[in-house]
Amino acid sequence: MLQRLFSFRGGVKPETNKAPSVQVPIGLAPLPERLYVPLHQHIGGHPNPLVEAGQRVLKGELIGGAEGWVSAAVHAPTSGTVIAVEEHVAAHPSGLTTLTVVIEPDGREEWIERQVVDHRSLPPERVREFLRDAGVVGLGGAVFPSHAKLTAAKAVAMEDLVINGAECEPFMTCDDVLMRERADEIVRGIAIFRDLLGARRVLIGIEDNKPEAVAAMHEAVGRLGEDYQVVAVPTRYPAGGAKQLIRVLTGKEVPASKRSTELGVQCFNVATVYTAYRALAFGEPVLSRIVTLTGNVEQPRNWEVRLGTPMRDLVALGRPKPDTTRFLMGGPMMGFEIPDLAAPVVKATNCIIAGSPALFPPAPPEMPCIRCGACAEACPHELQPFDLYWFARARNFGKTQEYSLFDCIECGCCSYVCPSHIPLVQYFRFAKSEIWAREREKQAADAAKARFERRNSREEREQAEKAERLAKASVARTSGSRPAATDAGPPARPRGSSAEAGSGSRAESPTDAAAAPAVGDAEALRKATIVAAMERARAQRESAQPKNTDHLSAAQLREIAAIDARRAVLGSAGESPKGPDE
Amino acid sequence: MIDFSTPPYLLQAHTSVRRVMVQVLVALLPGIGAYVWLIGPSILLQLLVASLAALLAEALMLRLRGRPLGLFLSDGSALVTAWLIALTFPPLAPWWLITVGTLLAIVVAKHLYGGLGQNPFNPAMIAFAACIVSFPALMSQWPVLGLKLTLVEQLEMIFGLAPRIDALSGATPLDALKTALKIGEGNIDIPTLLATQEVFGTFAGRGWEWVTAGYLLGGLWLWQRKVIHWQAPAGFICGLSLLAGALWLWNPERFASPLFHLFSGGAMLGAFFIVTDPVSGCTTTRGRLIFGFLAGVIAYTIRVFGGYPDGVAFAVLLLNLCVPLIDMYTRPPIFGMKDGK
């Protein structure tokens, strides 16, 4: 039981405010009139809707299939009728909409046929697929599909499986009550993950401000005869961050550039383990989750809420006090303000906090950075937030990346300790989104450039061919009347027309070009057509061959095309007697 | 920019720029107390003059720059600069000298570089350096110890109503030591000097040693309150003492002890209130150590071998120049990247 603990640098100790919401056990939130189940509730591929309006669905029925490997399925949280598959406001700070299946419950809670699976009897690959199709994702808040984290690295033995019950965000208690009330299921679920990963040791990390949860888990582990270690870790935000907890329990530091499995460790949230167990042992996909409803409400409590329940319905259960001005989803350190309470509870909704000006006073005005370094001391990833801030402000995004912007986990410790009250995390999110936007723009620009170059070269080829045809026609015409054709006459004209093909600025040639075809007789024209077709074929062959002209500017390409055209004309002028050259 | 609502919603109400600055001011009080008691109450007047000049200059510059007056005037940063200037200038310097110094610090060294948080040089040290270069005579007129002047007489001196009497042509203990050594031309040694001359006290300058001890006390309190980091003061004290100690061990007759140097001139004020200035100092842990250490070494070198009575101001300004370089080379490894992978 004695477990050597490590420490991570930085972190803060805000008021935890957890007590109010653990006074009563988990309540089951009533069935709302309508459920709005978004199809995309996780990181990764957007599931496609498998149902349509008017269709009856059973509880647990698949309504959105996983799209790709990093994705997860979505199910009907109850039986009823699909009213619509439409855009509905998402549980996201932007308040944008997302494709949502709207279900009117019939209140009968009729289940699909539930398939119970013993994970030991199936090949691991099948178990992972099963978890994906049961919609098991990380319920700590990141909602990363769990099955995609359940493959050990090939080169590294899996040493430790870390089960995260730290729950370091203030106000939040959903994992706490889950561990208190359903410890057995969590402990049973851990075996699934341990077996899939082949982990040698299981460490369950719980912040020491939750002694009841520690005791409950400890008892359950003993009762079920497992050798897992339940470890109380010091309460310090963000001890519940996956990387911080791994560090505290194993001493390993997982850099942003690596997967934790590459260091022989993997981490799952207790609620995730619980849903995985329900999925395998009872055939129940993820249909609900525990949500802490707390803050400025009369009755703070944890509720088991069906996914898709409008937040407005859930919030009403806690009876918000009259001075409530806003609601946050997630904790006060990393959460966001809910723009619209019509948004549904989703897999990522771990906590809803009613906020009042008294509870969350408005931010004092932002002052200039005085480089005091408090943020650097608080940063659990040992970054230099003030440097990142200067660079982000100056839009020097290259420098922000050089200073490891993408190692930032946006935990908010830096903003919390800043004496100048600078919303540092906001600057970092801004910088990240700008970098992503630029990346996308660059890709789009590259694609557009390639498209433009393809079109250019095609047009130039066509122009050149046209010029050739015209030249042939005139050659045919002159050769028809004057068999001893010389080079002197014809090239002059096509040169003009090729220049036109290239720059379009010299306008004297069109009259010549237009005049040319009108003159020739039928047979000459036919001959010219044949020669031109042969010429085209030759040009095609040539263009199919790789050249050292792949990365040229448009101007260079035009020049080359003009020269080619000229050469083609010259070549064809001398070709008829000479035969294929070069 | 997408305007996300701002986490964290839990604000740490007990931290702000104003709070930091006020704590620095409070930490100066023990030193000021000793100053008033042992040197004379005129320093209070100088503090007042400097504060008024600083606030006026700050207000003027904020208005010119179109910044909110109330927010920035109340942040306390101008007062900290003003107090540091008053404490480094001679206590009976004419009022206009300290005003010129303060204006230089606030207008040029602070606001022309972009105001709070943007100045590459320590404003108070700019004021000191500029004034000692421009007005060397006035800047080295320290009251002779034991000079008994009434408050009215001191006021008259500061405001130029009375002639600047000879009694003023005292020197700082550091200056006195240097001058005496020069005059003695090797015939006199430091232990004798310290024992015989009235200007020296128990272990440094008479009176001044307790003023600097007051700064030390305030500085330790700031460290205990986590307003300042220990690295820069520790580096400074190490740099100064190591060099002073080495030379003192080599030739105690020509070189004063580290203790003497630490409690003389601007050493303690510099160690805890100047090299700890976060804006113009280094930001990394190792950087702060290097910054402090080099500042200590240079300060000692200037005050012992240079032409000026003290070297803290020039040492700090020189190191301010090196801050970006030091910061760049002392960036700490981040989480997960410590083995250099």
Domain boundary among B108, B139, B170: B170
A246 to chain B: closest CA residue: B336
How many beta-carbon pairs below 8 A join chains A and B? 140
Q: Does A332 sit within 8 Å of B9, measured CB to CB?
A: yes
pLDDT at A506 over 90: no
Q: Does A419 touch chain B (CB under 8 A)?
A: yes
Whether B140 and B179 share a structural domain: no
How much is the pLDDT for A544?
A: 63
Give the domain range for residue B194. 172-329
Total tally of structural domains belonging to chain B: 2
B1, B3, B5, B9: best to mutate for the A interface, most A CBs within 10 A:
B9
Q: Does A374 sit within 8 Å of B4, measured CB to CB?
A: no
CA angle B333, B334, B337 (to 5 degrees): 80
Q: Does A8 touch chain B (CB under 8 A)?
A: yes
Tokens describing residue B203: 């272990």
Instruction: Identify all chain A residues contacting B12, using CB atoms and an 8 Å cutoff.
Output: 12, 14, 416-417
How much is the pLDDT for A152?
A: 86
Report the C-alpha gap between B334 and A125 in whole angstroms. 36
Whether B177 and B296 share a structural domain: yes
A251 to chain B: closest CA residue: B336
A371, A401, A416: best to mutate for the B interface, most B CBs within 10 A:
A371
* Mean pLDDT (chain A, rounded): 86
pTM of this structure: 0.79
How many residues in chain B? 341
B52 contact partners, CB below 8 Å, separation of at least 6: none
B335, B338, B341: best to mutate for the A interface, most A CBs within 10 A:
B335
Q: Does B7 sit within 8 Å of A415, measured CB to CB?
A: yes
A18, A328, A367: best to mutate for the B interface, most B CBs within 10 A:
A367
Please give the full DSSP string across A430-476, using - where no structure is assigned.
HHHHHHHHHHHHHHHHHHHHHHHHHHHHHHHHHHHHHHHHHHHHHHH
Q: Where are the alpha helices (DSSP H) in A482-545?
A: 489-502, 509-519, 522-544
Q: Is A347 helix (H, G, I), strand (E, B) or coil?
A: coil
CATH topology of domain A363-471: Fumarate Reductase Iron-sulfur Protein; Chain B, domain 2 (1.10.1060)
Residue B154 lies in a domain: yes
CA angle A393, A397, A400 (to 5 degrees): 85
Question: Which residue stretches of chain B have pLDDT < 70?
Answer: 1-7, 11-13, 144-149, 162-171, 185-186, 198, 340-341
Q: What is the 3-state secondary structure (H, E, C) of A195-230?
A: HHHCCCEEEEEEECCCHHHHHHHHHHHHHCCCCCEE
ipTM exceeding 0.85, yes/no:
yes
* CATH code, residues A19-28+114-355: 3.40.50.11540
CB A506 within 8 A of CB A496: yes
Q: How would residue A542 be classed by pLDDT, with cut points 50, 70 and 90?
A: low
Whether B254 and B289 share a structural domain: yes
Percent of chain A with pLDDT over 70: 87
> What pLDDT digit, counting tens, does each position of B240-288 carry?
999 999 999 998 888 889 999 999 888 999 999 999 999 999 999 999 9
Report the C-alpha gap between B303 and B298 in whole angstroms. 8
pLDDT at A147 over 80: yes
Report the C-alpha gap between A89 and A35 in whole angstroms. 13
> What pLDDT digit, counting tens, does each position of A406-422 carry?
999 999 999 999 999 99
**Mean pLDDT within A64-73:** 91
Q: Does B335 sit within 8 Å of A382, measured CB to CB?
A: yes
Whether B159 and B71 share a structural domain: yes
How much is the pLDDT for A497?
A: 44
Question: Residue A488: phi, psi to the nearest 5?
Answer: -60, -45
pLDDT at A359 over 60: yes
Between A503 and A276, residue with greater pLDDT: A276
CA distances (Å), B184 to each of A368, A498, B187, in order? Answer: 53, 97, 5
Name the residue among A258, A425, A433 with its Cβ closest to that of B7: A425
A372, A383, A384, A418: best to mutate for the B interface, most B CBs within 10 A:
A372
Peptide bond into B8 cis (omega under 30): yes
Q: Does A255 sit within 8 Å of B334, measured CB to CB?
A: yes
A409 to chain B: closest CA residue: B335
Domain boundary among B170, B204, B230: B170
Between A541 and A434, residue with greater pLDDT: A434
Q: Does A93 sit within 8 Å of B5, measured CB to CB?
A: yes
Q: What count of other Cβ atoms lies within 10 Å of the Cβ of residue B114?
A: 12
Whether B59 and B128 share a structural domain: yes
Q: Does A429 sit within 8 Å of B4, measured CB to CB?
A: yes
Report the C-alpha gap between A270 and A187 in whole angstroms. 9
How much is the pLDDT for A199?
A: 93
Q: Does A357 touch chain B (CB under 8 A)?
A: no
Whether B208 and B193 share a structural domain: yes
Residue B17 lies in a domain: no
> What pLDDT digit, counting tens, does each position of A174-225 carry?
999 999 999 999 999 999 999 999 999 999 999 999 999 999 999 999 999 9
Instruction: Identify all chain B residues contacting A96, using CB atoms and an 8 Å cutoff.
Output: none
Whether B194 and B220 share a structural domain: yes
Residue B110 lies in a domain: yes
B→A interface, C-beta within 8 Å: 1-2, 4-13, 15-17, 19-20, 68, 71, 75, 77, 115-118, 229, 278-279, 281, 283-284, 331-338, 341
Domain boundary among B170, B197, B225: B170
Please give the full DSSP string across B110-129, using - where no structure is assigned.
IGGGTSTTT-SS-HHHHHHH
CA distances (Å), B175 to each of A457, B104, B180, B270, B316, in order? Answer: 83, 25, 8, 18, 20
Instruction: Identify all chain B residues contacting A403, using CB atoms and an 8 Å cutoff.
Output: 331
Q: Does B338 sit within 8 Å of A336, measured CB to CB?
A: no
pLDDT at A559 over 70: yes
Best CA proximity match to B11, nearest among A418, A426, A239: A418
Q: Does A9 sit within 8 Å of B336, measured CB to CB?
A: no
How much is the pLDDT for B246?
A: 96
Instruction: Identify all chain B residues contacting A419, using CB atoms and an 8 Å cutoff.
Output: 15-17, 19-20
**Mean pLDDT within A87-92:** 93
Instruction: Identify all chain A residues contacting B117, using CB atoms and an 8 Å cutoff.
Output: 367-371, 420
Q: Is B141 helix (H, G, I), strand (E, B) or coil?
A: coil
pLDDT at A494 over 80: no
Q: Does B336 sit within 8 Å of A407, measured CB to CB?
A: yes
> How close A424 gets to chain B, by Cα (Å)?
9
B18 to chain A: closest CA residue: A419
Q: Does A430 sit within 8 Å of B15, measured CB to CB?
A: no
B10, B121, B230: best to mutate for the A interface, most A CBs within 10 A:
B10
Whether B177 and B323 share a structural domain: yes
Which of A219-223, A351-355, A571-575, B152-156 shows the lowest mean pLDDT across its residues?
A: A571-575
A243 contact partners, CB below 8 Å, separation of at least 6: A253, A254, A260, A380, A381, A409, B335, B336
Q: Is A317 helix (H, G, I), strand (E, B) or coil?
A: helix
Residue B8 lies in a domain: no
Could you check whether A19-28+114-355 and A363-471 share the same CATH topology?
Answer: no
The helix or strand, by DSSP H or E, that contains position A50, with its residue range, turns out to be none
How much is the pLDDT for A60?
A: 95
Name the residue among B7, B71, B77 with its Cβ closest to that of A365: B71
> How close B338 gets to chain A, by Cα (Å)?
9
Q: How would residue A548 be classed by pLDDT, with cut points 50, 70 and 90?
A: low
Domain borders along chain A are 19-28+114-355, 363-471
Name the residue among A373, A376, A415 with its Cβ closest to that of B8: A415
Sign of torsion, CA A563 A566 A570 A573? positive
**Phi-psi category of A330—alpha, beta or left, where left has phi over 0 and alpha has psi -120 to 50?**
left
Q: Does B17 sit within 8 Å of A384, measured CB to CB?
A: no
pLDDT at A574 over 60: no
Between A370 and B195, residue with greater pLDDT: A370
B334 contact partners, CB below 8 Å, separation of at least 6: A255, A381, A382, A383, A404, A407
What are A268's strand-pairing partners? Answer: A163
Q: Does A370 touch chain B (CB under 8 A)?
A: yes
Residue B35 lies in a domain: no
Report the C-alpha gap between A85 and A89 in whole angstroms. 13
Q: Does A371 sit within 8 Å of B335, measured CB to CB?
A: no
Q: Is A45 helix (H, G, I), strand (E, B) or coil?
A: coil
